Structure 1
Amino acid sequence: MNDSFFKKIEQKTGVSMDEVFALANAIQYADFSDEKQVQKIVRKVSKIAGKPITKDLEEKIVNSVVQKGNKLNLNEIASMMNQKNE
């Protein structure tokens, strides 16, 4: 792809493409039944997105992903992250 395209994305989002590619790589090869691995991914997504989450919400997301294994539903996770922290 064109470097200027990536630079525009970085400028608009404030997220480096290196971080995006590293996250994509981690997700691609992740074992979603491994709680520790899922927890690391959830924390990384939260950090990259600039959306801090509570420990309770992190646990809910991790448990939801681990229970479903390879049937990861990113829309469900995004919905959980956008909920008001209780």
Structure 2
Amino acid sequence: MQNPFFKQIENKTGVEMEEIMALANAIQYADFTNEKQVRKIVQRVSKMAKKPITRELEDKIVKSIIKDGNALDFSKIEKML
């Protein structure tokens, strides 16, 4: 993307906008009661953030998201990471 705003985000995060948009799209259409989908999203965010997580932490995050159903609180995930 050529937009200077997106370029700033890429420079600041080190993540390409295409990846961010793909993640946003996946989140928009995800079923947050489906453990497999939630687990994939958590793994993807961890990889994009370059913050590896243990299986135990991944399980806690997934369980928390599934418990809330359709509500996804990014600040909660950020704190867990």
TM-score of the aligned structures, taking structure 1 as reference length: 0.87
Q: Which amino acid aligns with 2:69?
A: G
Equivalent position SS for 2:72: coil
Q: Tell me the matched-pair count.
A: 81
Unaligned 5+ runs, structure 2: none
| Structure-1 separation of matches of 2:5 and 2:71 | 31
Unaligned 5+ runs, structure 1: 82-86
Q: Is the deviation greater in 5-14 or in 63-72? A: 5-14
TM-score of the aligned structures, taking structure 2 as reference length: 0.92
Q: Which amino acid aligns with 1:27?
A: I
| Structure-1 separation of matches of 2:46 and 2:69 | 20
Indicate yes or no: 2:32 matched with 1:32: yes
| Identity fraction in percent | 60
Counterpart residue number, 1:84: none
Deviations 1:41-80 (A, max 9, x none): 0000001111110110000000110111012222111111
| Structure-2 separation of matches of 1:73 and 1:23 | 15
| Structure-2 separation of matches of 1:75 and 1:12 | 19
